[in-house]
Amino acid sequence: MNATNLPGIVAPQELGFLSTVNAAQRADTDLTSVLASLHAWHAHIERTFESLQWPLSGFKPDSAFVAQAHAIGQTLRTLSGHWAQQRSELVHASKLAELLDDKVILLVFGKFNVGKSAFCNLLAQRFAAYEQPVQYFHLENGAVVETSDTFAEGETETTARLQGVCLGQKLVLLDTPGLHSVTGQNAELTKRFIESADGLLWLSSSASPGQTQELEELSTELRRGKPLLPVLTRSDVFEEDEVDGEIQKLLRNKTPENRALQENDVCDRASAKLEAMGLDASILAAPVSISTHMARTEGLTPQALEEAGFEGLYAALMDIIQPALAYKQRKPAEVLLHHQEENVLGSLYNTVLPQLSQLHVALNAGQQSLLQAPDQILKNLWRKIAPLLPAMLEEHASSGNGQVLSSGLTPIINTSLQQVVDDVLPDYIPENSELQFQLQLTEYTVTPDYERLYTALQHAIQTQVGVVANTIAEKCRDTLCSLEKSIADLQCFVEDRDDALKRIKASLRAPLA
């Protein structure tokens, strides 16, 4: 392969890059087993949610606990529907990926005016110089339109439209404005093109290189483990020079030292940023600096390309072609994995776990108020019973029969107890047997002395009802505990699914490491 404009004289990295790209071929690794693990991972979640039974039999149907538990069940059913919908949308993305199946797709990402279009145009020019096919295209009304126009440079208009260029047999550059500005009719297609990228070129101007917050916009793509190459553009400075006795300002390449300083700085900050975002910093390639402007004004000779940083760029691009191809080959699994991380696990963490903790807090508060319940039951019951006692005692005084007294009092206490328990513990259904209270009066208790009889009765009722009240509270505590256990189980289940997905991810990406 020879550069037609410079027969016999070539820039070696450039030539190497062109051959590498044209020879790029993705390995045919079998994803069957990892895809099966991903599907099984999800099926396990669906199965668990479908068979989920809250232990609610001890609660009244209108209890707030029941309402909260049912709300969680509803959330799980709604999510399951969402996931199915989101997964069916992935099919479109993979159709597009098939269209570009045999090409390495690099996203050229960066802020307005950093020189993305100039960069793409220059690479296109270089491919053309080697008689390689070059095909520009852009997205219009949701369709891909091929065009012979190169990208407009120095546009003041910031209309966000995705444009691209196919270089040679196997390379596609996607020139994209900031992803936030993607709106309107092309938004969905643009999103899918961006998703289809196998590698990321992050361009930033050497005037303010490596503003790492820009990486947040790329977060979705970075999380998929796509390789990231930072490119410092416009790596040139004005220098004063004397021309014909006059001081003139001329643009020069930044010095190699200056470039190295900037590259190291961006490298450090970018890897810190990736780590802060919880990403594997190994996706980061060493930054390179270029001046498209200087390469052009110096005539695109091998020396001009070398001095403007393009030989370094080509070497770096060659290095990321392999990880990009590796990504491409994992792509079907990555896309599914990502759906499961972001949509499935994401909503379990963002929606389900908070609801579970809310219910957990409510159950704790329930446990706390149960501590006071026996005393409260006793107090309220006594308030109901005490006014009835004098009449009962009068009656007893005439009969003198303790049996009559206890069988007269027992139903009254039972009825009152039911009302009181209902008031004090409105959330629970106490077992019937607990409310079948039988007042036991001993010989000693049943004395003819009115005063002593009253005190003894009060004591007997309070002691015996106290036992019942404690038993009831204990059962309510058990009811709360069972629901707490179900919540804890579900919380553990989410963590367990998280770990399982991490293991699948590690096995998917293992060949890259």
Ligand X SMILES: Nc1nc2c(ncn2[C@@H]2O[C@H](COP(=O)(O)OP(=O)(O)O)[C@@H](O)[C@H]2O)c(=O)[nH]1
Site stretch for Mg ion (CB under 5 A), options 117-125, 284-292, 388-396, 448-456:
117-125
Query: Cβ distance 409 to 392 under 8 Å?
Result: yes
Which does residue 509 bind out of ligand X, Mg ion, none, counting CB within 5 to 8 angstroms by kind?
Answer: none
Beta pairing class for 104-110 and 199-205: parallel
Question: Which tokens is 137 given?
Answer: 């295209």
CA distances for 373 relative to 213, 421, 471, 473, 476, angstroms: 55, 9, 11, 7, 10
State in angstroms the smallest separation of the CB of 310 from ligand X: 11
Residue 246 β-bridge partners:
243
Question: Which tokens is 263 given?
Answer: 């590259």
Which does residue 114 bind out of ligand X, Mg ion, none, counting CB within 5 to 8 angstroms by kind?
Answer: ligand X
Only one residue has tokens 């790492």, namely: 212
Query: Cβ distance 133 to 108 under 8 Å?
Result: no
Between 118 and 356, name the residue whose CB sits nearer to ligand X: 118
State in angstroms the smallest separation of the CB of 137 from Mg ion: 15
The residues that touch ligand X, with contacts defined as CB under 6 A, are: 110, 112-118, 153-155, 233-234, 236, 251, 291-293
Among residues 13, 20, 68, 117, the one that binds Mg ion under rule CB under 5 A: 117
Only one residue has tokens 């029969």, namely: 401
Between 63 and 291, name the residue whose CB sits nearer to ligand X: 291
Between 114 and 370, name the residue whose CB sits nearer to ligand X: 114
Helix or strand (DSSP H, E) at 307: helix 302-307
Helix or strand (DSSP H, E) at 205: strand 199-205
Between 117 and 196, name the residue whose CB sits nearer to ligand X: 117
State in angstroms the smallest separation of the CB of 193 from ligand X: 17
Site stretch for Mg ion (CB under 5 A), options 109-117, 248-256, 419-427, 484-492:
109-117
State in angstroms the smallest separation of the CB of 155 from Mg ion: 6
Of 225, 224, 226, the closest CA to residue 335 belongs to 224
State in angstroms the smallest separation of the CB of 257 from Mg ion: 30
Between 110 and 302, name the residue whose CB sits nearer to ligand X: 110
Between 159 and 432, name the residue whose CB sits nearer to Mg ion: 159
State in angstroms the smallest separation of the CB of 123 from ligand X: 12
Which does residue 450 bind out of Mg ion, ligand X, none, counting CB within 5 to 8 angstroms by kind?
Answer: none
State in angstroms the smallest separation of the CB of 116 from Mg ion: 5
State in angstroms the smallest separation of the CB of 74 from ligand X: 47
Between 173 and 335, name the residue whose CB sits nearer to Mg ion: 173
Provide φ and ψ at 57, rounded to 5°.
-65, -25
**Which residues between 194 and 213 bind Mg ion (CB under 5 A)?**
none
Of 477, 493, 478, 474, the closest CA to residue 356 belongs to 493
Residue number with the shortest CB distance to Mg ion?
117
Which does residue 495 bind out of ligand X, Mg ion, none, counting CB within 5 to 8 angstroms by kind?
Answer: none
Which does residue 291 bind out of ligand X, Mg ion, none, counting CB within 5 to 8 angstroms by kind?
Answer: ligand X
State in angstroms the smallest separation of the CB of 214 from ligand X: 12
Which does residue 347 bind out of ligand X, Mg ion, none, counting CB within 5 to 8 angstroms by kind?
Answer: none
Query: Cβ distance 469 to 460 under 8 Å?
Result: no
Provide φ and ψ at 70, rounded to 5°.
-65, -35
121 lines the binding site for Mg ion (CB under 5 A): no
State in angstroms the smallest separation of the CB of 230 from ligand X: 15
Rounded Cα gap, residues 513 and 510, in angstroms: 5
Sheet holding 228-233, edge to edge: 143-147, 134-140, 163-167, 171-176, 104-110, 199-205, 228-233, 288-289
Site stretch for Mg ion (CB under 5 A), options 29-37, 110-118, 363-371, 373-381:
110-118
State in angstroms the smallest separation of the CB of 109 from Mg ion: 12
- Cβ-based neighbours of 222, under 8 Å, separated by 6 or more: 200, 215, 228, 274, 277, 279, 283
Between 164 and 374, name the residue whose CB sits nearer to ligand X: 164
Between 117 and 186, name the residue whose CB sits nearer to Mg ion: 117
Rounded Cα gap, residues 357 and 218, in angstroms: 32
Torsion of CA 472, 475, 476, 481, to 10 degrees: 160
Question: Helix, strand, or coil here: 271?
Answer: helix
Between 22 and 205, name the residue whose CB sits nearer to ligand X: 205
Size of the site for Mg ion (CB under 5 A): 1
Between 195 and 236, name the residue whose CB sits nearer to ligand X: 236
Site stretch for Mg ion (CB under 5 A), options 24-32, 116-124, 135-143, 344-352:
116-124
Residue 236 β-bridge partners:
253
Question: Helix, strand, or coil here: 215?
Answer: helix
Within 10 Å of residue 107's Cβ, how many Cβ atoms? Answer: 27
Site stretch for Mg ion (CB under 5 A), options 113-121, 202-210, 300-308, 457-465:
113-121
Question: Helix, strand, or coil here: 138?
Answer: strand
**Binding region for Mg ion (CB under 5 A):** 117
